[in-house]
Homo-oligomer: A and B are copies of this chain.
Amino acid sequence: MRLIVIGGDAAGMSAASQARRLLKPGDLDIAAFERGEYTSYSACGIPYWVGGLVDGPDGLIARDPAAHRANGIEVHTGHEVTGIDLRSRTVTVRSSGADRTESFDHLVYAAGATPVRPAWADTPAKGIFGVQTLGDAAALQEWLEPGRDTAVVIGAGYIGVEMAEALQRRGLRVTLVERAGQPMSTVDPDMGALVADSIRGLGIALRTGVTVQGLETADGQVRAVVTDDGVLPADVVVLGLGVRPNTALADAAGLPLGVTGALATDLRQRVTGPDGIVEGVWAAGDCTQVTHLVSGRPAHIPLGTHANKQGRVAGINIGGGYATFPGVIGTAITKICDLEVARTGLSSKEAEAAGFRYVTATVESTNRAGYFPGAVPMTVKVIAEKDTGLLLGAQIVGRAEAAKRIDAFAVAVWNRMTVTEMTALDLGYAPPYAPVWDPVLIAARKAGDAL
């Protein structure tokens, strides 16, 4: 049997590694094709490399091609899969300008995602970067030479904010442009306002409610970003407008796409369409669609943590084991200088869109007992279904020991707890770590009162 993996990052190589763990070479031969140079790396670490906190690219690589080969997986970097033939069960692979055909019994489609590039960014001018792959980051690093000291980051989602901070840390003057009225629209406006304050506190020029209309270029490189609120000089432009699943190849091969444009799968990561499961074809990572377990709806939430889990599940199933990936609940955390931002479940806007009637409660508390040295404020917001009290989501903004507290909410959301039941939870308490009423419990209590 032969497994071909398209894409050599987290999802694809997790699948390959798990399948290899269960089946020996001979029983299962594995070939992975990666069009870039690197395998199994942390794209999430890119802002920290750009910001100079982490040595890259090597520091961000969990397992390089040699390590995968030592593990019995053929890895071919610089190889792009350009076609899939489901009838003959072959793929066409291009390398150094030459095509060849490779056959498979199982195919893992893990082609990832690509930064959204609006029409106005479609220029040969240099200095415009999406940040999705290590290759993108390496190109940006090369571009950041002395004299190029003015950056505009477009889009204030997670990546945009992280990249703005990284470039600021590198000494550039940074403007962060966001079309919405707040940065990080994944959290509610009141929490977004706290994030905005923190971004501005870093010295980054945050411009919300501003739409980009185009770029000015000269001498083959970008010079400015033109917006509906003025022209912003720029030696470097970073696109933080989100990503789109790389599904063109799948679509061309006749694989069914989900409603989000990403590949839909069953619980075991088998590609699934209106006609059912496509036998022997698996998908994992940023190119796939997930089920949001709170809204019950399909979603496209490209995150490394999901990619790793989905790849593992696909690999175990290919190897003859049994594993499932039931879905996600929208947990995400990030750090903006010393500000920690976290969310899980649905935001108010998402709860509204899903059709929930809901109440919210916001509390101000501290990370430690108020009297303990190092106690700093923390804001916790809870969103609960009206009448039932079902916990729909939670958001946390704080200055220390805040973000990972979202996990308690995440496990509660996962288990469909009500806020009233949550008030009884036996969470860890000691003065260096929490007030005697943990902020999580206070927020749940207050949401209970609001019902």
Determine the residue in chain B with the shortest Cβ distance to A158. B430
Answer yes or no: A308 CB below 8 A from chain B CBs. Answer: yes
Q: Do A305 and B426 contact each other (CB < 8 Å), given the known contacts A42-B371, A432-B335?
A: yes
Alpha-carbon distance A437/B436, docked complex (angstroms) = 30
Answer yes or no: A428 CB below 8 A from chain B CBs. Answer: yes
CB pair A427 B410 closer than 8 Å: yes
Of A127-135, A181-189, A227-235, A411-419, which binds chain B? A411-419
Alpha-carbon distance A54/B405, docked complex (angstroms) = 25
Q: Do A428 and B407 contact each other (CB < 8 Å), given the known contacts A369-B45, A371-B60?
A: yes
Minimum distance in angstroms from A433 CB to a CB of chain B: 5
CB pair A371 B45 closer than 8 Å: yes
Alpha-carbon distance A10/B369, docked complex (angstroms) = 15
Answer yes or no: A331 CB below 8 A from chain B CBs. Answer: yes
Q: Do A436 and B10 contact each other (CB < 8 Å), given the known contacts A408-B410, A408-B411, A410-B426?
A: yes
CB pair A428 B411 closer than 8 Å: no
Inter-chain contacts of A335 with B (CB < 8 A) = 430, 432-433
Answer yes or no: A289 CB below 8 A from chain B CBs. Answer: no
CB pair A410 B430 closer than 8 Å: no
Contact of A428 among B325, B406, B425, B433 (CB under 8 A): B406
CB pair B414 A372 closer than 8 Å: no
CB pair A369 B333 closer than 8 Å: no
CB pair B372 A45 closer than 8 Å: yes
CB pair B424 A324 closer than 8 Å: yes
CB pair B433 A331 closer than 8 Å: no
Contact of A433 among B333, B424, B433 (CB under 8 A): B333
Inter-chain contacts of A438 with B (CB < 8 A) = 305, 407
Determine the residue in chain B with the shortest Cβ distance to A406. B428
Minimum distance in angstroms from A158 CB to a CB of chain B: 8
Q: Do A332 and B428 contact each other (CB < 8 Å), given the known contacts A59-B371, A371-B42, A372-B53?
A: yes
Inter-chain contacts of A414 with B (CB < 8 A) = 425-426
Inter-chain contacts of A325 with B (CB < 8 A) = 424
CB pair A436 B304 closer than 8 Å: yes
- 8 Å CB interface, A340-373 against B: 340, 342, 344, 369, 371-373
Alpha-carbon distance A170/B417, docked complex (angstroms) = 45
Determine the residue in chain B with the shortest Cβ distance to A303. B429
Minimum distance in angstroms from A41 CB to a CB of chain B: 10
CB pair A427 B415 closer than 8 Å: no
Q: Which of A44, A330, A433 lies at the interface centre, i.e. has the most chain B CB atoms within 10 A of its CB?
A: A433
Alpha-carbon distance A141/B35, docked complex (angstroms) = 69
Alpha-carbon distance A408/B412, docked complex (angstroms) = 9
Contact of A334 among B324, B417, B430 (CB under 8 A): B430
Q: Which of A334, A340, A427 lies at the interface centre, i.e. has the most chain B CB atoms within 10 A of its CB?
A: A427
Alpha-carbon distance A10/B426, docked complex (angstroms) = 17
Contact of A410 among B42, B305, B403, B425 (CB under 8 A): B425
CB pair A304 B48 closer than 8 Å: no
Contact string against B for A residues 366-397, beta-carbon threshold 8 Å, 1 for contact and 0 otherwise: 00010111000000000000000000000000
Answer yes or no: A19 CB below 8 A from chain B CBs. Answer: no
Answer yes or no: A404 CB below 8 A from chain B CBs. Answer: yes
Top 10 A-B pairs, shortest CB-CB distance: A411-B411, A333-B428, A415-B415, A305-B429, A407-B408, A59-B371, A335-B432, A331-B426, A329-B426, A328-B426
Interface on A for B, CB 8 Å cutoff? 10, 42, 44-45, 48, 53-55, 59-60, 303-306, 308-309, 324-326, 328-335, 340, 342, 344, 369, 371-373, 401, 403-408, 410-412, 414-415, 417, 423-434, 436-438, 440
5 extra interface residue pairs, beta carbon distance < 8 Å, beyond A53-B372, A411-B425: A42-B436, A45-B431, A333-B429, A334-B430, A401-B401
21 residue pairs of the A-B complex, CB under 8 angstroms, read: A44-B431, A45-B369, A48-B431, A53-B373, A304-B429, A305-B426, A305-B429, A308-B436, A329-B426, A331-B426, A331-B428, A331-B429, A332-B428, A332-B429, A333-B428, A404-B405, A404-B433, A407-B408, A407-B440, A411-B415, A415-B415
